[in-house]
Structure 1
Amino acid sequence: MALRNLLLLLVSLPLLFSFTREEQRQYTIHGYAQGTDYTIKYFAADNVVTKAQIDSILGVIDASMSLYKPVSLISRFNASEKGLKLDMHFEKVIRKSFEVNRETRGIFDVTVKPLVQAWGFGVRPAGSFPDSVQIRSLLGCVGMNNLKLQGGMLKKQKPCIQVDLNGIAQGYSVDVVAGFLDQRKLKAYVVEIGGELKIRGPKPDGSAFRIGVEGPADRPDAGPLLKHTIVLNNGAVTTSGNYRKFLQLGNSRISHLIDPKTGYPLQSTMISVTLYAQDAITADGYDNALMAMNVDQALAFVNARKGMEAYLIYHNEKGQVADTMTTGFRQLIADVPAR
């Protein structure tokens, strides 16, 4: 009798596991926030996360760090004479910004807002590009050495200091939403906001998530091309590039990435940087900085840091589009198309 019961148990266990797997459905949430689209995909037995919850989370972050909201905390900080007390979100992002600024020796600098605005990439359109006199004047209002975070208070040494967190806040938003999904006990999901994403896996069937990595097309009149497909179970991937967001000046393209040291748009051989890290705020913070480096510098920078991998597209010495990647990034590439 005991043997018979054991056999029945062994037969029923696979059926039980199969039933559990079949319970896991994919749910998808689409929305618009922070000036871009977002998509959340997760696997669960029931609809445990709603669009209203995601919108509420992103709304709170926007109220803290959106330059497009006149009453946001960041807008009030920029208008202040000496600084303001920060909320939890703003403080976490500014702490990370200080770290990235230090690690990149000032290449990443959130005080570039006056320059970003002057070159026409800010909240208000610019009627013309700045001249050298204006740039020299604005550079006096740039530099994270003019900021000090103390006891949750962000102080500015000059009233003209203004911050722009667009180069890092979206990655932070991805992490916050992912953290909410973790709180809901979800084991498999993708959070994507404006192309910045974080993944937790594998899927219920045991397979990994497949993510397409874009790059510029071979022709100026064509859209971005799928360059590679990577397979991930955990981590974050972000991309910074100058082929999507730019202004045209005659025959020249003006990059939206501004060099805080010169005050001018970046003049770099780099076309795009796709960065893998454990969290999206790290990947998002460093991908812009890598755009300011040459290929050898960028590879050396990434290889010197644990848990960071990169895929770089650039113009080689002949002016041709070329690409390269770290060894760890190459190990993420799949031979199957993205879906």
Structure 2
Amino acid sequence: MMKQKAYSTWLAALAICLFNIASRPGGALKTFRINGRAQGTTYAVTYYAEREAVSQTQTDSIFKSLDASLSIYQPGSLINTFNASREGVEMDLHLSRVVERSMQIYKQTGGLFDITVYPLVNAWGFGTKDEDGLPDSAAIRRILPCVGSVNLQTSGNSLVKSNPCIQIDVNGIAQGYSVDIVADFLEVRGVSNYLVEVGGEIRTKGRKYPGKEKMSIGIETPSATEFDTPVIREVISIGDGAVTTSGSYRKFRQSGGLRLSHIINPKSGFPVQREIISATVVAPDAITADGFDNALLAAGVNGAFEILKKHPEMDAYLIYKKTDGNVADTASAGFARHVVR
């Protein structure tokens, strides 16, 4: 009996060993690319594998599932059902994960990142409703009681609002989450070298093949002379992680000679008027980077560094406009290790 048991154990160990050997990649890795449109923007997936592991159809299906949950632009989506409700909804897995992380970042940024900003986003003409004019101070004061993530509660799978006028918009974090979902799907399919990009939000792992080079990412920013012309200011390589950028120059409205940013301060109710032009965040995952980049931009240079002090897992690169109109940059201490020289 003891010999039979030992023999069985040896066979099991041999089977595991043979499986591990068989599962190791032996052939040359090929380049696979998937491109498309989703979430009102473009996406691009590049991965390296011996054979096709993820298809265009599978990728599009992932985005379809995400939009059905998180898109304010898709009629009948779960988030729109919540916004139209008086009390709340039962969340699916996507909405639950995004709301949970959003509530954490809301607290970690002192309320600068707030998904309940949607009524203000609409009022300033950056949401789903076309607004010709701009709201005055009185209109903003009427909206502010409908803003604040303290008015959201979760109970089990339920997302509950304390005021019927509470509405949420997760666009400030959903693309980062989408990047993570696609990246995680690649890894489940056995892919360990990839780059996933959705609307400029990126996550990478491994290296480029066949040369095994590090994956490089350009940080886009307006030049000092042509504010409307984007240029590549820095090139970075982040290894296994994510990088996202929020820029006040990307989406705006003109009013009386002022550029009104699409990033709204949920406390004041008005578009952010800060010196930062763009904030790039490097983090372990894209949902984290995406959630924090808007908050850093809204915090200003000094406020951004106060937030970063509490989050050593993140690095940031800030481009800002000085009082004399010139463009300058600054970064957290750890950002230099990502710069490609």
Same fold (TM over 0.5): yes
Q: Distance in 2 between matches of 1:94 and 1:150?
A: 12
Structure 2 equivalent of residue 64 of structure 1: 69
- Quick one: structure 1 residues 221 and 332, their matched pair in 2 at CA, closer, same or farther if it must change by over 3 Å? closer
Give ranges in structure 2 of 5+ residues lacking alignment. 1-24
Q: Distance in 2 between matches of 1:220 and 1:80?
A: 45
**Residue range with higher mean Cα deviation, 67-76 or 311-320:** 311-320
Q: Distance in 2 between matches of 1:315 and 1:223?
A: 15
Q: Distance in 1 between matches of 2:313 and 2:207?
A: 19
> Equivalent residues in 2 for 1:67-146 (5 A)?
67-146=72-151
What is the CA-CA distance between 1:36 and the residue it aligns to?
0.2
**Residue range with higher mean Cα deviation, 49-58 or 216-225:** 216-225
What is the CA-CA distance between 1:222 and the residue it aligns to?
4.6
SS in 2 for 1:167: helix
> Which digits, 9 at most, give the CA deviation of each residue in 1:41-88, with x for residues without a partner?
000111221111111001101000100112000000000000011000
Q: Distance in 1 between matches of 2:336 and 2:152?
A: 39
Structure 1 equivalent of residue 281 of structure 2: 275
SS in 1 for 2:35: strand
Q: Distance in 2 between matches of 1:166 and 1:147?
A: 17
RMSD: 1.3
Give ranges in structure 1 of 5+ residues lacking alignment. 1-19
For residue 224 of structure 1, the aligned residue among 224, 230, 233 is 230
What is the CA-CA distance between 1:289 and the residue it aligns to?
0.3
> Equivalent residues in 2 for 1:159-308 (5 A)?
159-204=164-209, 205-220=211-226, 222-308=228-314
Structure 2 equivalent of residue 45 of structure 1: 50
What is the CA-CA distance between 1:296 and the residue it aligns to?
2.2
Q: Distance in 1 between matches of 2:191 and 2:53?
A: 9
**Any conservation in 1 of the 2:53–2:190 contact (CA below 8 Å)?**
no
Structure 2 equivalent of residue 17 of structure 1: none
SS in 2 for 1:84: strand
- How much identity, in percent, do the aligned residues show? 47
What is the CA-CA distance between 1:316 and the residue it aligns to?
2.0
Find out whether 1:151 has 2:156 as its counterpart: yes
SS in 1 for 2:101: helix
What is the CA-CA distance between 1:206 and the residue it aligns to?
3.2
SS in 2 for 1:23: coil
Q: Distance in 2 between matches of 1:66 and 1:313?
A: 30
One-letter amino acid of the structure 1 residue matched with residue 110 of structure 2: R
What is the CA-CA distance between 1:219 and the residue it aligns to?
3.1
Q: Distance in 1 between matches of 2:305 and 2:261?
A: 22
SS in 1 for 2:299: coil
SS in 1 for 2:119: helix
